[in-house]
Every structure is written in structure tokens, then in C-alpha cells.
Amino acid sequence: MSLLIDDNCINCDVCEPECPNSAISMGPNIYVIDPNLCTECVGHYDTPQCMEVCPVDCISKDPEHAESAEQLQSKFLHLTGQA
């Protein structure tokens, strides 16, 4: 499942550099996460790093982009050229 940043985002800029897949970018008003690039840090870390550093806890799982652990691992392998 991809992650989602909600409207409580304060644009503090700490999540973007933590994303190993460059899935986080500035949207029109707040930061956004590209579901095609987000692996919840599977393959890189044990936990999503953006969630770890977010000071306002505005990042959660995106119900619109549900993925299993196997799908996230497969996406990681594809994104890193290992598939």
C-alpha cells in the first residue's frame, strides 16, 4: 500500500529527503507521495522513513493504493533495476 500525506501537512520539508525512492514531492499546497514510486521503504528500511520523521503524524496508508508486502517488494526490485 502506498502512503498518503493528509491536509495536516505543515510543509516542514523533513519527509522528502528521507524517501529512498524519491516518491515525495511538493504538490500544489502540501507534499504528495507518488503511489507508483512508494514502497513504504520495503527493501530499504524496516519502517517507512517519512512516517518516522513527520512531526505532525500526517502520513498514513493510502486505502486507494492497497498493495501486499510481496507487491511492495516486487515494486522495489523493479525501481532499483533488480527485476
What domains sit in the chain, N to C, each tagged with a CATH number?
3-79 (3.30.70.20)
Report pLDDT digits (tens) over 12-64. Answer: 999 999 999 999 999 999 999 999 999 999 999 999 999 999 999 999 999 99
Confidence (pLDDT) at 69: 93
Confidence (pLDDT) at 57: 97
Region at 39 (left for phi over 0; alpha for psi -120 to 50; beta for the rest): alpha
Please determine, for residue 83, whether its predicted confidence score (pLDDT) is greater than 90. Answer: no
> Residue 26: which H helix or E strand, with range?
strand 24-26
In contact, 49 and 20? CB cutoff 8 Å: yes
In contact, 56 and 48? CB cutoff 8 Å: no
Between these two residues, 28 and 83, which has the higher pLDDT value? 28
> Residue 79: which H helix or E strand, with range?
helix 69-79
